[in-house]
């Protein structure tokens, strides 16, 4: 571990210890249900810059909009991807962006907190219960009702999929609303959704048709991932050959990472772009996406494309793709023949 990583680990531990009790006094807050409750302005706090983590709050944003169709939503995030991810969400009113490196840009950092403080919200929702900045924003914001995010054993027992990082905020939001007199919803949690437009999907089809100019359907793969989530070149080359043999009536196209590298030595037709929505529009025109746990896997899922996520870590229940016949494959169990059968079953459902 580098010195910088060690410093960041220490910083997270320190800030978490300092903020873990923020909001404890709100747990038993008394709400006067005789007063008319109007929800018009909501702050959703998820100060994280990673693509996957932003996409994973789209189910909560959809849930909030479905519950309060006329509301305006401000997002407290980090980095510059949120305007791209939420481009087609009409209820998004304002995106408050925390600098990726706040201590190198202190003026911008403090301006963000001033923006939060100046606005009056009806509800503030902290998405990640372990986020120090998220809990601070919930405490700092002016809001009638505040949700800081807490472990809730009752909700966890009620929902077997509570562990999923995109789902538990929705379950907690629904439970929180019961305190305001709303009936708790029981419908499935919304999927991740990039909300690609018809024009974007059309352009994605044109791009795909240029890459694989034939009438075959296409399977998209992504062979890269970070750290130990990345499978070796030998692993992928063997898997790719088995995919080609099994799905000989399909094109196989590799979506390349920003690093422009391939674990199969560029043996398949490739697509490269730094435009998130363009990448999504191309994947959306394929039959299935296959790739390891990564931001691009969540991007594929958010295009409503059946997604087969390959997991080598024990966090499968937290990050696995869901909806649209998507599956998570634990590569510590079974073999490549078994996993290809799972993929074949997904394709057969389409």
CATH fold of 34-178: Rossmann fold (3.40.50)
Least confident of 3-7, 315-319, 342-346: 3-7
Q: What does the pLDDT look like over 158-184, one tens digit per residue?
A: 999 999 999 999 999 999 999 888 999
Same topology for domains 34-178 and 198-349, yes or no?
yes
- Strand 120-126 versus strand 92-98 pairing type: unpaired
- Quote the pLDDT of residue 29: 60
The larger pLDDT score, comparing residue 80 to residue 59, is at 59
Largest CA distance in the chain: 66
How far apart (Å, rounded) are the C-alpha atoms in residues 58 and 317? Answer: 18
Q: How confident is the model at residue 265 (pLDDT cuts 50, 70, 90)?
A: very high
Task: Band the pLDDT of 117: cuts 50, 70, 90.
Answer: very high
Instruction: Give the whole-number percent of the chain exceeding pLDDT 90.
Output: 76
Question: What are φ and ψ of residue 163, in 5° steps?
Answer: -65, -20
Burial class of residue 208, CB neighbours in 10 A (0-12, 13-18, 19+): buried
Sole residue written with tokens 């305001």:
180
Confidence of residue 25 (pLDDT cuts 50, 70, 90): very low
First to last CA, the chain: 45
The whole-number average pLDDT for the span 135-151 is 88
Cα distance between residue 327 and residue 342, in whole Å:
8
298: region left, alpha or beta (phi > 0 left; psi from -120 to 50 alpha): alpha
Alpha-carbon distances of 30 from 100, 146, 147, rounded to whole Å: 37, 12, 13
321 — alpha (psi -120 to 50), left (phi > 0) or beta?
Answer: beta
pLDDT at residue 274 above 60? yes
130: confidence class by pLDDT, cuts 50, 70, 90: confident
Q: Is 235 exposed, middle or buried (0-12, 13-18, 19+ CB in 10 A)?
A: middle
Average pLDDT, the chain: 90
pLDDT at residue 152, as a whole number: 80
Neighbours of 114 (CB within 10 A): 9
- Residue 303 clears pLDDT 70, i.e. is over it: yes
pLDDT at 118 over 50: yes
Please give the radius of gyration of the chain, using alpha carbons only, rounded to the nearest integer: 21
232: Cβ contacts below 8 Å, ≥ 6 apart: 263
pLDDT digits (tens, 9 = 90+) for 55-68: 999 999 999 999 99
What residue spans define the domains of the chain? 34-178, 198-349
Instruction: Report the alpha-carbon distance of residue 284 to residue 300 in Å, rounded.
Output: 7
Statement: residue 97 has pLDDT above 70: yes
Predicted structure pTM score:
0.90
Q: What is the CATH number of domain 198-349?
A: 3.40.50.2000
The whole-number average pLDDT for the span 37-59 is 95
pLDDT, one tens digit per residue, over 221-242 is 999 999 989 999 999 999 999 9
Classify residue 87 as left (phi > 0), alpha (psi -120 to 50) or beta: alpha
Q: Is the pLDDT of residue 13 over 50?
A: no
As a whole number, mean pLDDT of residues 18-28 equals 49
Show the tokens assigned to 107.
Answer: 């003026």
**DSSP designation for 4:** H
């Amino acid at each position: 571990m580098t010195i910088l990583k060690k410093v960041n680990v220490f910083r997270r531990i320190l800030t978490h210890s300092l903020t873990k009790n923020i909001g404890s006094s709100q747990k038993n807050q008394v709400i006067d249900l005789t007063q008319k409750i109007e929800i018009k302005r909501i702050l959703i706090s998820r100060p994280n810059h990673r693509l996957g983590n932003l996409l994973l709050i789209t189910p909560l944003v959809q849930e909030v909009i479905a519950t309060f169709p006329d509301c305006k939503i401000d997002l407290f995030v980090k980095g510059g991807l949120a305007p791209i991810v939420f481009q087609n969400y009409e209820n998004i009113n304002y995106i408050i962006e925390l600098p990726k490196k706040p201590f190198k840009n202190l003026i911008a950092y403090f301006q963000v907190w001033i923006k939060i403080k100046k606005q009056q919200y009806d509800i503030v929702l902290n998405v990640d219960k372990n986020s120090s900045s998220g809990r601070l924003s919930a405490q700092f914001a002016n809001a009638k009702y505040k949700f800081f995010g807490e472990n809730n054993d009752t909700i966890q027992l009620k929902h077997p999929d509570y562990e999923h990082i995109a789902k538990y905020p929705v379950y907690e939001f629904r439970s929180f609303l019961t305190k305001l007199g709303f009936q708790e919803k029981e419908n499935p949690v919304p999927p991740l959704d990039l909300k690609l437009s018809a024009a974007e999907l059309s352009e994605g089809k044109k791009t795909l048709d240029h890459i694989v100019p034939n009438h075959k359907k296409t399977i998209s793969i992504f062979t890269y991932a970070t750290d130990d989530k990345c499978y070796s070149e030998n692993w992928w080359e063997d898997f790719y050959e088995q995919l080609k043999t099994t799905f000989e009536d399909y094109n196989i196209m590799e979506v390349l990472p920003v690093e422009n590298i391939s674990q199969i030595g560029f043996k398949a037709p490739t697509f490269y772009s730094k435009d998130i929505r363009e990448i999504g529009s191309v994947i959306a025109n394929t039959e299935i996406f296959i790739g390891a746990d990564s931001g691009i896997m969540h991007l594929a899922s958010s295009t409503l494309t059946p997604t087969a996520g390959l997991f080598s870590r024990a966090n499968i229940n937290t990050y696995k793709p869901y909806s649209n016949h998507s599956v998570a494959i634990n590569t510590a169990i079974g073999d490549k023949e078994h996993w290809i059968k799972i993929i074949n079953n997904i394709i057969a459902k389409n």
